[in-house]
């Protein structure tokens, strides 16, 4: 067993950069030794920027590298399943970015491939490692709020970084697929991952019709079997940068966690400034200038946990099975919006190529 986990990153854009920076913060347990990207020049430039010794234009060539223990997948959603299967068959542990994949059949393929090849499949949901949200979970577990009956989580901004998110054939859906997965797993995390009773959702495309067939506004209600429910709100239509917050209500108390309040400087600028504000198109006027953003979102803590699992020091908190559970709820939410009714569980969306089809066929 090596003293550090050697990592290969698949991808070279926004999420890959976050992973690279996260690993730089945890050199005691992991190091990035390779990166792969098919875009000409991207892998080489990425490797130079982050001091990574090897780069590839074909991720399958990178998987032949015997020096790699684990790969992180930061590619468009429609590529997740095959990349995971290929990595598992090469004996690499896998960190797969959210959402896990495009449909439940792909989820089963990924889980089975990793099980057969005796490697971990980690589901990268950073909200389960975000320090402020972890403290909220501790309050729940300590009994500070009493019996929790409602978890609310919202994530809103004016749209994603990369063009492929707008293309439902590559992404599988709109804002619900992109960010609703965060709120769903956050609610499961807070409540102890209970079984689902029902899902009800309203979706719409209100601002970005010229860019996408996907939803840019979503409200989802998930009812759980432990007499609790979650309300998850997501937007690609909100101006002014990222708004990420959670509220947890119990019979004995309540806690509010606004992720960017307390990790940001309230700033006004007539001219703007160089450091990009998350999802804000400009830094002029009033902004919340975030510092140590990647740490405060929990990415290094997440990657450290996954690395320690590979080293045999911890047991996984977020797995492929968790990613599949989130995907089932996403499918039910799209079906609910398409059919205009509550979807009760058990619910199996077999034969569906991508979740948004369940909504679009009802329009």
pLDDT at residue 183 is higher than 60: yes
How far is residue 304 CA from its own chain's centroid? 16
Q: Is pTM, for the whole model, over 0.85?
A: yes
For range 8-26, the mean pLDDT: 97
One-character DSSP codes across 130-185: -HHHHHHHHHHHHTTT-SEEEEEEEEE-S--SSGGGG-HHHHSSSHIIIIIHHHHH
In this prediction, residue 334 carries a pLDDT of 98
In this prediction, residue 275 carries a pLDDT of 43
Taking only the tens place, the pLDDT of each residue in 137-164 is 999 999 999 899 999 999 999 999 899 9
Could you count the other beta carbons within 10 Å of the beta carbon of residue 311?
Answer: 16
Question: Domain boundaries in the chain?
Answer: 5-125+299-313, 128-296+325-344
Strands 253-258 and 264-269: unpaired
Could you count the other beta carbons within 10 Å of the beta carbon of residue 278?
Answer: 17
The pLDDT-based confidence of 269 (bands split at 50, 70, 90) is: low
For range 225-244, the mean pLDDT: 94
Query: Which one-letter DSSP state was computed for residue 128?
Result: G
Hey, which of 172-186, 247-261, 282-296 has the most confident mean pLDDT? Answer: 172-186
Average per-residue pLDDT for the chain: 93
Q: What is the CATH number of domain 128-296+325-344?
A: 3.30.360.10
Taking only the tens place, the pLDDT of each residue in 69-102 is 999 999 999 999 999 999 999 999 999 999 999 9
CA gap 197, 220 in Å, rounded: 14
Calculate what percentage of the chain has a pLDDT beyond 70.
93
Q: Which residue has the tokens 């929790």?
A: 148
User: What's phi and psi for 128, nearest 5 deg?
Assistant: -80, -5
* Cβ contact 147:250 at 8 Å: yes
**What separation, in Å, do the N-terminal and C-terminal C-alpha atoms of the chain show?**
54
For range 235-247, the mean pLDDT: 92
- Which of residues 342 and 349 earns the better pLDDT score? 342
* C-alpha triplet 121, 125, 131: angle, nearest 5°: 130
pLDDT at residue 117 is higher than 90: yes
pLDDT at residue 1 is higher than 70: no
**Burial degree of 8 (CB within 10 A; 0-12, 13-18, 19+):** buried
* C-alpha triplet 345, 257, 136: angle, nearest 5°: 70
Taking only the tens place, the pLDDT of each residue in 211-226 is 999 999 999 999 999 9
The pLDDT-based confidence of 281 (bands split at 50, 70, 90) is: low
Give the domain 5-125+299-313 fold: Rossmann fold (3.40.50)
pLDDT at residue 264 is higher than 80: no
Q: Which residue has the tokens 């074909």?
A: 58
* Cβ contact 46:34 at 8 Å: no
CA gap 307, 2 in Å, rounded: 11
């Amino acid at each position: 067993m090596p003293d550090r986990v050697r990592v290969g990153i698949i991808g070279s854009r926004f999420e890959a950069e976050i992973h690279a920076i996260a690993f730089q913060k945890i050199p005691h347990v992991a190091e990035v030794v390779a990166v792969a990207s098919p875009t000409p020049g991207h892998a080489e430039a990425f490797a130079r920027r982050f001091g990574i010794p090897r780069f590839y234009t074909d991720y399958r060539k990178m998987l032949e590298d015997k020096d790699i223990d684990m790969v992180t997948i930061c590619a468009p959603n429609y590529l997740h399943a095959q990349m995971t299967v290929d990595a598992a068959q090469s004996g690499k542990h896998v960190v797969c970015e959210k959402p896990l994949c495009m449909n439940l059949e792909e989820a089963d393929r990924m889980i089975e491939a990793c099980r057969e090849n005796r490697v971990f499949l980690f589901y990268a949901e950073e909200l389960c490692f975000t320090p402020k949200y972890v403290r909220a979970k501790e309050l729940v577990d300590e009994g500070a709020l009493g019996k929790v009956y409602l978890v609310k989580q919202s994530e809103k901004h004016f749209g994603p970084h990369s063009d492929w998110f707008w293309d439902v054939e590559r992404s599988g859906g709109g804002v619900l697929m992109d960010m609703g997965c965060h709120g769903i797993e956050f609610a499961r995390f807070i409540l102890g991952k209970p079984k689902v009773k029902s899902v009800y959702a309203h979706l719409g495309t209100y601002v970005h019709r010229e860019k996408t067939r996907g939803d840019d506004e979503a409200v989802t209600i998930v009812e759980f079997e432990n007499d609790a429910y979650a309300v998850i709100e997501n937007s690609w239509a909100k101006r002014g940068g990222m708004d990420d917050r959670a509220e947890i209500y119990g019979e004995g108390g309540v806690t509010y966690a606004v992720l960017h309040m307390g990790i940001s400087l309230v700033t006004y600028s007539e001219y703007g400034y160089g450091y990009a504000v998350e999802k804000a198109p400009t830094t002029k006027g009033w902004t919340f200038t975030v510092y140590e953003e990647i740490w405060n979102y929990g990415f290094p803590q997440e990657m450290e946990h996954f690395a320690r699992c590979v080293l045999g020091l911890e047991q996984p908190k977020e797995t492929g099975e968790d990613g599949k559970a989130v995907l089932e709820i996403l499918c039910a939410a799209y079906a609910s919006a398409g059919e205009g009714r509550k979807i009760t569980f058990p619910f199996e969306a077999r034969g569906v190529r991508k979740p948004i089809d369940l909504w679009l066929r009802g329009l």
